[in-house]
C-alpha cells in the first residue's frame, strides 16, 4: 500500500493533515492529534475554568 492511499485526518491542535500510522491501527477513530507535542499543547476546553 502506498502512503498516498492511507487515510488522513486534520490535527485538532495545529490544523495540519497527518496520515494513518501502524501504531494507530486499533485506535484510529480516537486519534485527534498528529504528535505528542500537539496533544500536550492542546487548548483547554473551558478557558474560564482556571480563573479564580
Question: 41, 13 in Cβ contact below 8 A?
Answer: yes
Asked if the model's pLDDT at residue 51 lies above 90, the reply is no
Kindly list the distances between the CA atom of residue 43 and the CA atoms of 13, 16, 37, 46, 51, in Å, as whole numbers in the listed order.
7, 16, 12, 9, 15
Write out pLDDT tens, residues 4-48.
788 999 999 999 999 999 999 999 999 999 999 999 886 655 555
Asked if the model's pLDDT at residue 50 lies above 80, the reply is no
pLDDT band for position 1 (cuts 50, 70, 90)? confident
**C-alpha 16 chain-centroid distance:** 9
Q: What is the pLDDT of residue 6?
A: 87
Helix (H) / strand (E) containing 5? none
Amino acid at each position: 500500500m502506498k502512503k498516498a492511499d492511507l487515510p488522513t485526518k486534520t490535527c485538532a491542535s495545529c490544523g495540519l493533515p497527518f496520515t494513518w500510522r501502524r501504531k494507530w491501527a486499533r485506535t484510529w477513530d480516537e486519534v485527534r492529534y498528529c504528535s505528542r507535542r500537539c496533544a500536550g499543547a492542546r487548548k483547554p476546553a473551558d478557558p474560564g475554568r482556571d480563573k479564580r
